[in-house]
Amino acid sequence: MTESDTSRRAEERRRRILLLAHRLPGAALHYSTDDGVTWHGPVQIDTLGGAYPSLCELPDGGILCVYYEEGEGSDIRGVWLRAEKDGVSVLPRE
């Protein structure tokens, strides 16, 4: 492994953010910027409990979180997020 490979991998680790979405209380997520050693949050993304949340990184670097409302008349919901070292924010819908 070359010195540039080592530097590139170290930079990738510095930019890496782990996200963990969960449903209670209300759809929310926690995030880690140190490979899971410590966690920040919760960041609430919805006031409703969001069952089985799934996260996907989009080509533009944004994050899509899709989940469904529990109970009668449930619906599929989704939010767009931006994850950066200083925090996670819910993006406004266009």
**Residue 12: per-residue pLDDT:** 53
Residue 69 CA: distances (Å) to CA of 46, 76, 90, 91: 10, 6, 18, 20
Q: Round to whole Å and give the CA distance between 10 and 15.
A: 9
28, β-bridge pairs: 22, 44
Quote the tokens at residue 65. Answer: 């979180």
At 40 the three-state DSSP class reads: strand
Question: What does DSSP say about strands 18-22 and 50-57: parallel, antiparallel, or unpaired?
Answer: unpaired
Would you write out the chain's pLDDT as a tens digit for each of its 94 residues?
Answer: 676 655 555 455 556 899 999 988 789 999 999 999 999 999 999 888 888 999 999 999 999 999 998 778 889 999 999 999 888 999 987 6
Residue ranges covered by each domain of the chain: 3-90
**Residue 6: per-residue pLDDT:** 56
**Residue 15: per-residue pLDDT:** 65
**Residue 76: per-residue pLDDT:** 93
